[in-house]
A and B are shown apart, each in its own frame.
Chain A
Amino acid sequence: MSIDWRSYDPTPFYDELIASKGKPRGPSRHLTDYLSSLDDAEIQARKKAAELAIVEMGISFTIYSEGENIDRAWPFDIIPRVIPRREWRAVEAGLVQRLTALNMFINDIYNGQRIVKDKIVPEYVFANSRNFRKQCLGITPPHGVWAHICGSDLVRDKDGTIYVLEDNLRVPSGVSYMLENRQVTKRVFPELFENSSILPVDEYPAQLFDMLASISPRPQDYPTVAVLTPGIFNSAYFEHSYLAQRMGAHLVEGADLVVGDDDCVYMRTIDGLARVDVIYRRIDDEFMDPEAFNPESMLGVRGLMRAWRNGKVGLANAPGSGVADDKVIYAYVPAMIKYYLDQDPIIPNVPTYLCVNDDDREYVLAHLEDLVVKPANESGGYGMLVGPHSTKKQRAEFAQLISKDPRNYIAQPTLALSVAPTLCEEGLEPRHLDLRPFILQGVRTDVTAGGLTRVAMRKGSLVVNSSQGGGSKDTWIVDEEA
């Protein structure tokens, strides 16, 4: 039994590959035709090959469960998700526009707060933000850029509109999986790459290195770049080591670094201390430097903040960038784009109700059943209420939480997330997905060709996080004109 597209029905959702029952979309026709030419045994063989490749290549993520850290094979669905290049160009422009405005906002917040004085954004929004760092006031990092690496989550609604769901400006992860997913797909479906123009994704590590080099305090050709990881027990350790390897950078832990009396950062090498120019830190602000932030932190480097403030080391992302990584701030991004760039947003926001506003809160409390409620400062899909899938008891709990701390909650309409054909136990089935492209900003701005597509493997589920049973797909930007 091979794949029969006539028996695949994504209704009522927007499907990324199929326009309507039996009718593939233009850019994915090549893929769907090819898939239906394979019989069931062949498809299963490719699936097996992908699983084997993932184990052999050691593509894993770590989860913490029952008091133990477990290294799990990366969950991957072999059927790629296709986006036409024409559409992607607009998304790309929208992401560049968005990150540019966000960086101008962060720089403004730490230098003068013009946007508050002009009454575009109310002061409480950042003053109470858990990620606002007063230690950063008065600092302007190189190029005025704070968030150098951004992972924005995009979703598509029923009518095909793409929205930005959130911007991750602290330590967004997932890019290594985007790169590895492509490697695996090339191994599993080499034939497909011969006859179609799929944009390559593997420039990312080189672009990341160039961006990091551009914020070096010692302008030179070969700055010493290090990736700072919390260590092997971090869920993204695979990615830290992967990126260090691909960039030819050092993978360091806090204990490997020391800040000298000259405020420069050094690493402990077999040949004594060696200066580090740029640190791509994958540790949260709070744990980065026990001298400036959490004094209990065992992961950080004493004096790192001092070194950065004095311009002796480049840090990406800059401490304090997280102030814009807040779901309340998110609601103001369209206004920011208008204010700083005098442009209309290219990619729309999902309509957002701020519980701190009386009108909004009243509406949210009356419509909990239809809305998604999120805490302002959490990531990873934790602490959320998905209205349509919730119980009465859960809604009562959230009503209380919201009334107690309205500043910390926002609500959005439940989007009918788009789906794509996914190989499940039951066969080929539509499953909901999102997309996380990565944007690099230094002197110039680069956007990945596509990004990491995360897919909810359980039927009907909207939760795509790998820590909660989500899977992933290779993402193809297909150039039809080429």
Chain B
Amino acid sequence: MLSRVAERLYWMSRYVERAENTARMIKSFNVMTLDMPRSVQLSWRGLVSVTGTDAIFNEHYQRDDERNCVKFLIADAYNPGSVLSTLRAARENVRTTRDLVPTEAWEVVNELYIFARDNVESGINKRARFEFLSEIVQRCQTLGGLVAGCMSHDSAFDFICLGRSIERADMTSRQIDAGAVQLLIGKDDPQPHEGLLWTTVLRAQSGFQMYRQHVKRRINGVDVVRFLLQDTLFPRAVAHSVAQAEAALGRLPHNDIPLRLAVQARRHVLEADVEKLIVAEELHDFIDVVQTEIGDIHDAIVQCWFPQAVATA
């Protein structure tokens, strides 16, 4: 397949995954705010930080209240990571690779973008926000289902898997980091509502139910971090996502460098002693390294298969 097409499919998949993750995150935070006693101050700003877009936010807003943060995360065109921006980018990428993805997949992405564009106001307003975000998540999932069910498992499929896995690993690690920084660092006593906050982190990855089934212990920071970081069965856990990327990489030609990096990253994640990292207050640094490793896999994919690499070869 064409290098240019591989690149567009990879990004299409990353963008859709990013939109889904952002929608899930806002949704779960939204649910939590309803449970919290009024005395507890919640910062929506934390969600902006998770997506790594603080600088852009500061450029456009003075106040980081709920409305501004949610609008920024869902609708703003100048935030390249907003749900609407990522869906637009995803649509452009499928539009230019329509010849390779199943027609229904194009239609799903096209309709998804149109839905988001036409209903974005209801996502910003509190009343219809839950329905709006649920619909976004569901439609993103429809794409995943179509790709899994209707597309030959060829290289195009592998690049779609790759984009999804890399994005997922990245996002989950960011959320662990955010949760950890907020809750664990430098605090000797358990924080009030800590259980609720960790539940929110789990819910943001739809991991609450799976955690209950597989971990079987009450919600606590160490176990949640371990689950989201190291679980090999939960599809949104970092270790699992990297393993998925590894499998896709294994099927592609000339894969030596990116594959080696993925194997290393997965091992690194699995070998970590989460409890020790938390006690020694080294979790944040550790996650930083993991994020760099994920970034390195991405760079190697770019180098290996995407157009600019070929052009200089």
- Residues of A in contact with B (beta carbons under 8 Å apart): 55-58, 227, 232, 241-242, 244-245, 249-253, 255-256, 267-272
Report the Cα distance A241→B99, complex, angstroms. 5
Stretch at the interface among B18-26, B39-47, B102-110, B228-236: B102-110
Is B237 in the interface zone, CB < 8 Å from A?
no
Is B96 in the interface zone, CB < 8 Å from A?
yes
Question: In the complex, how many angstroms separate the beta carbon of A235 from the nearest chain B beta carbon?
Answer: 14
Report whether B98 and A241 are in contact in the complex, using a CB–CB cutoff of 8 Å.
Answer: yes
Residues of B within 8 A of A241 (CB): 95-96, 98-99
Residues of A within 8 A of B310 (CB): 268
> Which of chain A's residues has its CB closest to B305's CB?
A270
Question: In the complex, how many angstroms separate the beta carbon of A217 from the nearest chain B beta carbon?
Answer: 21
Residues of B within 8 A of A55 (CB): 114
Report whether A255 and B95 are in contact in the complex, using a CB–CB cutoff of 8 Å.
Answer: no
Instruction: Render B87-105 as a binary contact track against A, CB cut-off 8 A, 1 for contact.
Output: 0000010011111100100
Residues of A within 8 A of B305 (CB): 270
Question: In the complex, how many angstroms separate the beta carbon of A208 from the nearest chain B beta carbon?
Answer: 14
Report whether A245 and B2 are in contact in the complex, using a CB–CB cutoff of 8 Å.
Answer: no
Question: In the complex, how many angstroms separate the beta carbon of B309 from the nearest chain A beta carbon?
Answer: 10
Report the Cα distance A58→B107, complex, angstroms. 7
Report whether A268 and B110 are in contact in the complex, using a CB–CB cutoff of 8 Å.
Answer: no
Report the Cα distance A57→B2, complex, angstroms. 25
> Which of chain A's residues has its CB closest to B107's CB?
A56
Taking a contact as CB atoms closer than 8 A, the residue among A57, A232, A250 that contacts B99 in the complex is A250
Task: Choose among A55, A227, A253, A269 the residue with the greatest number of B CB atoms under 10 Å from its CB.
Answer: A269
- Residues of B in contact with A (beta carbons under 8 Å apart): 1-6, 92, 95-100, 103, 106-107, 110-111, 114, 155, 252-254, 305, 307, 310-311
Report whether B307 and A255 are in contact in the complex, using a CB–CB cutoff of 8 Å.
Answer: yes
Task: Choose among A245, A249, A255, A267 the residue with the greatest number of B CB atoms under 10 Å from its CB.
Answer: A245
Question: In the complex, how many angstroms separate the beta carbon of B82 from the nearest chain A beta carbon?
Answer: 20
Report the Cα distance A242→B3, complex, angstroms. 20
Report the Cα distance A256→B308, complex, angstroms. 11
Report whether A244 and B99 are in contact in the complex, using a CB–CB cutoff of 8 Å.
Answer: yes
Residues of B within 8 A of A242 (CB): 98
Report the Cα distance A250→B114, complex, angstroms. 27
Residues of A within 8 A of B3 (CB): 256, 268-270
Residues of B within 8 A of A253 (CB): 4
Report whether A270 and B98 are in contact in the complex, using a CB–CB cutoff of 8 Å.
Answer: no
Q: How many A-B residue pairs have CB under 8 A?
A: 65
Other than the known A251-B97, A268-B311, what 15 A-B pairs have Cβ atoms closer than 8 Å? Answer: A57-B107, A58-B95, A58-B98, A241-B99, A250-B5, A253-B4, A256-B3, A268-B3, A268-B307, A269-B1, A270-B2, A270-B155, A270-B252, A270-B254, A271-B253
Report whether A270 and B99 are in contact in the complex, using a CB–CB cutoff of 8 Å.
Answer: no
Taking a contact as CB atoms closer than 8 A, the residue among B6, B96, B100, B103 that contacts A270 in the complex is B6
Report the Cα distance A253→B155, complex, angstroms. 20
From known contacts A256-B4, A268-B3, A270-B3, infer whether A58 and B106 are also in contact, taking CB-CB under 8 Å.
yes
Report the Cα distance A115→B246, complex, angstroms. 66
Report the Cα distance A250→B99, complex, angstroms. 7
Report whether A58 and B110 are in contact in the complex, using a CB–CB cutoff of 8 Å.
Answer: yes
> Which of chain B's residues has its CB closest to A251's CB?
B99
> Which of chain A's residues has its CB closest to B306's CB?
A270
Report whether B111 and A56 are in contact in the complex, using a CB–CB cutoff of 8 Å.
Answer: yes
Question: In the complex, how many angstroms separate the beta carbon of A114 from the nearest chain B beta carbon?
Answer: 42
Residues of A within 8 A of B253 (CB): 270-272
Taking a contact as CB atoms closer than 8 A, the residue among B96, B100, B110 that contacts A56 in the complex is B110
> Which of chain B's residues has its CB closest to A246's CB?
B99
Residues of A within 8 A of B1 (CB): 250, 269-270
Question: In the complex, how many angstroms separate the beta carbon of B279 from the nearest chain A beta carbon?
Answer: 45
Task: Choose among A241, A242, A253 the residue with the greatest number of B CB atoms under 10 Å from its CB.
Answer: A241
28 contacts between A and B (CB under 8 A): A55-B114, A56-B111, A58-B95, A58-B98, A58-B110, A232-B92, A241-B95, A242-B98, A245-B99, A245-B100, A245-B103, A250-B1, A251-B5, A251-B98, A252-B2, A255-B4, A256-B2, A256-B307, A268-B4, A268-B307, A269-B3, A270-B2, A270-B3, A270-B252, A270-B305, A271-B254, A272-B253, A272-B254
Report whether B99 and A268 are in contact in the complex, using a CB–CB cutoff of 8 Å.
Answer: no
Residues of B within 8 A of A232 (CB): 92, 95-96
Report the Cα distance A256→B1, complex, angstroms. 11
Task: Choose among A256, A268, A272 the residue with the greatest number of B CB atoms under 10 Å from its CB.
Answer: A268
Residues of B within 8 A of A244 (CB): 99
> Which of chain A's residues has its CB closest to B113's CB?
A58
Task: Choose among B2, B99, B103, B252 the residue with the greatest number of A CB atoms under 10 Å from its CB.
Answer: B99
Question: In the complex, how many angstroms separate the beta carbon of B68 from the nearest chain A beta carbon?
Answer: 28
> Which of chain A's residues has its CB closest to B4's CB?
A256
> Which of chain A's residues has its CB closest to B92's CB?
A232
Residues of A within 8 A of B4 (CB): 253, 255-256, 268
Residues of A within 8 A of B311 (CB): 255, 268
Report the Cα distance A242→B97, complex, angstroms. 10
Residues of B within 8 A of A252 (CB): 2
Report the Cα distance A256→B5, complex, angstroms. 10
Task: Choose among A242, A255, A270 the residue with the greatest number of B CB atoms under 10 Å from its CB.
Answer: A270
Residues of B within 8 A of A272 (CB): 253-254
> Which of chain B's residues has its CB closest to A58's CB?
B110
Report whether B2 and A268 are in contact in the complex, using a CB–CB cutoff of 8 Å.
Answer: yes
> Which of chain B's residues has its CB closest to A241's CB?
B98
Question: In the complex, how many angstroms separate the beta carbon of B97 from the nearest chain A beta carbon?
Answer: 8
Residues of A within 8 A of B111 (CB): 56
> Which of chain A's residues has its CB closest to B109's CB?
A58
Question: In the complex, how many angstroms separate the beta carbon of B18 from the nearest chain A beta carbon?
Answer: 22
Residues of B within 8 A of A56 (CB): 107, 110-111
Question: In the complex, how many angstroms separate the beta carbon of B77 from the nearest chain A beta carbon?
Answer: 14
> Which of chain B's residues has its CB closest to A232's CB?
B96
> Which of chain B's residues has its CB closest to A270's CB?
B305
> Which of chain B's residues has its CB closest to A60's CB?
B95
Residues of A within 8 A of B95 (CB): 58, 232, 241
Report whether A269 and B99 are in contact in the complex, using a CB–CB cutoff of 8 Å.
Answer: no
Report the Cα distance A165→B99, complex, angstroms. 33
> Which of chain A's residues has its CB closest to B310's CB?
A268
Question: In the complex, how many angstroms separate the beta carbon of B185 from the nearest chain A beta carbon?
Answer: 43
Residues of B within 8 A of A255 (CB): 4, 307, 311
From known contacts A241-B98, A242-B98, infer whether A267 and B107 are also in contact, taking CB-CB under 8 Å.
no
From known contacts A56-B110, A249-B99, infer whether A269 and B2 are also in contact, taking CB-CB under 8 Å.
yes
Report the Cα distance A253→B100, complex, angstroms. 15
Question: In the complex, how many angstroms separate the beta carbon of A271 from the nearest chain B beta carbon?
Answer: 4
Report the Cα distance A31→B254, complex, angstroms. 59
Report the Cα distance A256→B97, complex, angstroms. 13
Residues of A within 8 A of B98 (CB): 58, 241-242, 245, 251
Q: Which 4 interchain pairs have the tightest Cβ spacing?
A: A244-B99, A245-B99, A251-B99, A271-B253
